[in-house]
């Protein structure tokens, strides 16, 4: 197996450079073989990472040599065992799982995002992943599902197949119905309907999908005309159904997808989630909640549209 060795002497008169080097080496996942000798497996951009650290050290009065080495055995891999770090993270995940309640939703959401960030950072330096990473990933996913079930009970099951296309002209002045106490996907979908599909839409918040009137256009529940399809959440289904492929809407779709079912986290997602969670807790009237959230989505769209035009 191939390895990278960084042999260095840190600058003695530049404390800032020393601290920066130590911090970058820790972040890279390198292990210490002895004083001034650091080791990384030759994979996943390790060469570029250590080269950057070495150049910075030399520019600030230290010495650094980056060497390639090979070994016929895997003894060094033991030095990169992250089991204890995953175990510590798993304990935090379980602690948060046990404390979920209606009164602590916004706090728990904030903590979950911190745990997800910690997990992803740990994965980047888990060069020899094993059962510890799998177990922690599963526990974190279950915690995320649990909080989403609290925020959005009766989440629809994803349908299979292709998404049919519809004409906006055929959906004017309709009654649009979805489940009450809307969370991210339903709030954003209702905003999309009013803003881009049916400006005169009448919105109904259903205590149960069974209460949906026959003449209403249902969304985001099992059996609704517009809901989850394959990997797409309802907001994304609506975009595809009505050919609303504006870049700004697609960026919002990435945020809503993450907030509803997880996946890749857009940079703006954590802030949007905190605002929506605060509104959800503070506003009990669904029409008022929707109106306030719509202002947020209006602002997002305007910001993203400006970015796409610049």
Assigned token pair, 267: 């940079």
The answer on 88 and 75 residing in a single domain is: no
Pairwise CA distance, residues 194 & 198, whole Å: 5
CATH number for 36:
3.30.70.240
For residue 69, the model assigns a pLDDT of: 84
Q: Order of strands, edge to edge, in the sheet holding 217-218?
A: 202-206, 175-179, 217-218
Domain assignment present for 160: no
The answer on 192 and 89 residing in a single domain is: no
The answer on 211 and 113 residing in a single domain is: no
The answer on 39 and 139 residing in a single domain is: no
Q: What is the 3 state secondary structure string of 144-213? A: HHHHHHHHCCCCCCCECCCCCCCCHHHCCCCEEEEECCCCHHHHHHHHHHHHHHCCCCEEEEECCHHHCC
Q: Residue 104: phi, psi to the nearest 5?
A: -120, 20
For residue 77, the model assigns a pLDDT of: 87
Which among 92, 120, 151 is the end of a domain?
Answer: 151
For residue 73, the model assigns a pLDDT of: 62
Domain assignment present for 288: yes
Domain assignment present for 290: yes
Assigned token pair, 70: 């090979």
Tens-of-pLDDT digits for all 310 residues of the chain?
A: 889 999 999 888 888 988 999 999 999 999 999 889 999 998 878 889 999 999 999 999 899 999 988 876 667 888 999 999 999 999 999 988 887 776 777 778 788 888 988 998 999 999 999 999 999 988 888 888 787 777 766 677 777 788 999 999 999 999 999 999 999 999 999 999 999 999 999 999 999 999 999 999 999 999 999 999 988 999 999 999 999 989 999 999 999 998 888 777 888 988 898 899 899 989 999 999 999 999 999 999 999 999 878 7
Domain assignment present for 141: yes
The answer on 122 and 71 residing in a single domain is: no
Which among 79, 109, 138 is the end of a domain?
Answer: 79
Domain assignment present for 243: yes
Q: Which domain holds residue 9?
A: 2-79
Domain assignment present for 226: yes
**What's the total number of domains in the chain?**
3
Domain assignment present for 123: yes
The answer on 67 and 93 residing in a single domain is: no
Which among 55, 79, 103 is the end of a domain?
Answer: 79
Residue the block writes with tokens 């209460």: 211
Pairwise CA distance, residues 37 & 21, whole Å: 13
The answer on 203 and 290 residing in a single domain is: yes
The answer on 214 and 87 residing in a single domain is: no
Assigned token pair, 125: 């330096």
The answer on 106 and 231 residing in a single domain is: no
Domain assignment present for 158: no
The answer on 279 and 195 residing in a single domain is: yes
Q: What is the enclosing helix (H) or strand (E) of 37? A: strand 37-41
Pairwise CA distance, residues 226 & 143, whole Å: 27
The answer on 113 and 34 residing in a single domain is: no
Helix, strand, coil shares of the chain as percentages rounded to 5? 55, 15, 30
The answer on 217 and 144 residing in a single domain is: no
What 3-state class would DSSP assign to 10? Answer: coil
Pairwise CA distance, residues 301 & 272, whole Å: 13
């Amino acid at each position: 197996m191939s390895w990278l060795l960084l042999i260095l002497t840190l600058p003695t008169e530049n404390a800032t450079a020393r601290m920066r080097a130590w911090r970058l080496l820790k972040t890279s996942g390198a292990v210490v073989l002895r004083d001034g000798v650091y080791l990384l497996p030759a994979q996943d951009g390790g060469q570029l990472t250590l080269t950057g650290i070495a150049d910075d050290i030399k520019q600030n009065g230290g010495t650094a040599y980056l060497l390639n080495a090979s070994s016929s055995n895997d003894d060094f891999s033991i030095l990169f065992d992250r089991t204890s770090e995953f175990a510590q993270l798993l304990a935090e995940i379980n602690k948060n799982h046990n404390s979920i309640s209606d009164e602590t939703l916004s706090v728990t959401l904030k903590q979950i995002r911190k745990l997800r960030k910690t997990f992803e950072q740990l994965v980047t330096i888990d060069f020899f992943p094993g059962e510890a990473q799998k177990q922690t990933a599963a526990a974190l996913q279950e915690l995320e599902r649990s909080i989403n079930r609290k925020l959005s009970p009766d989440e629809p099951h994803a349908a299979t197949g292709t998404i049919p296309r519809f004409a906006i002209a055929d959906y004017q002045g309709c009654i649009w119905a979805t489940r009450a106490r809307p969370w991210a996907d339903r709030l954003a979908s209702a905003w999309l309907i009013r803003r881009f599909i049916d400006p005169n839409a009448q919105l109904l918040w259903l205590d149960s999908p069974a209460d949906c009137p026959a003449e209403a256009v249902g969304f985001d529940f099992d059996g609704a005309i517009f809901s989850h399809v394959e990997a797409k959440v309802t907001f994304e289904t609506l975009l595809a159904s009505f050919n609303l492929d504006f870049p700004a809407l697609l960026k919002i779709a990435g945020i809503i997808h993450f907030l509803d079912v997880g996946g890749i986290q857009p940079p703006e997602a954590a802030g949007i989630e905190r605002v929506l969670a605060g509104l959800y807790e503070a506003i009990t009237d669904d029409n008022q909640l929707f109106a306030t959230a719509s202002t947020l989505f209006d602002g997002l769209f305007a910001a993203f549209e400006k970015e796409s035009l610049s």
